[in-house]
Chain A
Amino acid sequence: DTAVSQTPKYLVTQMGNDKSIKCEQNLGHDTMYWYKQDSKKFLKIMFSYNNKELIINETVPNRFSPKSPDKAHLNLHINSLELGDSAVYFCASSQAQGAPDTQYFGPGTRLTVL
């Protein structure tokens, strides 16, 4: 009955590789997000999609490319991974984009770049 799920939970890879993280929500929400949590626990928005349309892109390097095949899925592809990409990535979803609304978070994907 997981509301927001992410795969994989852990991802260890070498510098320069390309990897993807998948997110799915079964809440029927219209809006999905990606957040990055660094080693000091600081959380920052990366992207937001509303009904498959990109709404927010917060000065993230273009090595990061989100893709939303439908409104229940928002995947994150990262090219040419760098050491500084090591972090925990959280997916979230909310009902509506036009009004402040509770966001529901996935369990996170811990990415380690060696």
Chain B
Amino acid sequence: GNSVTQMEGPVTLSEEAFLTINCTYTATGYPSLFWYVQYPGEGLQLLLKATKADDKGSNKGFEATYRKETTSFHLEKGSVQVSDSAVYFCALSDHRGGNKLVFGAGTILRVKS
């Protein structure tokens, strides 16, 4: 079945540091890939997505590129802010699976000023 593996956290960075959160996936078909973010006490918000190989999703300074050859969708940001502190979830969906989202375990990001 489909699965997503994310790097374990928590990840603690100083403000303006470079961020990478690794995400790899296993899928039988050609899934769409997503990053969702959950701020403390809130629901999930879509951060970015990519629907086919070599697509790059970007939003709020975050980027991720759909790499079919390495089955990866790593999240990057050049300069993090304290307000980026949250839990980040990598996820995939495949229409053959009824469009359900399969999530990674989530990575807690803490940014210190």
Interface check B61, CB cutoff 8 A? no
Query: How many chain B residues touch A (Cβ–Cβ < 8 Å)?
Result: 27
Please name all residues of chain B whose beta carbon is closer than 8 Å to the beta carbon of A97 when the two chains form the complex: 98-99
Judged by a CB distance under 8 angstroms, whether B79 is at the interface is no
Given contacts A40-B105, A99-B95, A100-B99, 18 further A-B contacts (CB under 8 A): A41-B105, A43-B89, A43-B101, A43-B103, A43-B106, A48-B100, A56-B100, A92-B101, A96-B99, A100-B31, A100-B95, A101-B32, A101-B99, A102-B46, A103-B46, A104-B46, A105-B44, A106-B43
- State whether B99 touches A94 (Cβ < 8 A): yes
CB distance from B107 to the nearest CB of A (A): 10
CB distance from A102 to the nearest CB of B (A): 5
Instruction: Sort chain A's interface into a size bin.
Output: 20 to 34
Known: A48-B100, A94-B99, A105-B43. A100 touches B94 (CB 8 A): yes
Query: What's the Cα separation between A48 and B36 when bound, in Å?
Result: 19
**B residues within 8 A CB of A98?**
95, 99
Q: What secondary structure prevails in chain B residues at the interface with A?
A: strand
B contact set with A: CB distance below 8 Å:
31-32, 34, 36, 38, 42-46, 49, 51, 87, 89, 93-95, 97-103, 105-106, 108
Report how far A43 CA is from B90 CA in the complex, Å. Answer: 11
B89 touches A102 (CB 8 A): no
Check A31–B99 contact: CB distance below 8 A. yes
- Complex CA gap A107/B105 in Å reads 19
In the assembled complex, A45 has its CB within 8 A of some CB on chain B: yes
Does A114 have its Cβ within 8 Å of any Cβ on chain B?
Answer: no
Among A4, A41, A99, point to the contact of B87 (Cβ < 8 A). Answer: A41
Q: Smallest distance from the beta carbon of A89 to chain B beta carbons, Å? A: 11
* A41 & B106 in contact (Cβ 8 Å cutoff): yes
Instruction: Looking at the assembled complex, report how far the CB atom of B43 sits from the nearest CB atom of chain A, in whole angstroms.
Output: 4
A61 to chain B, nearest CB (A): 18
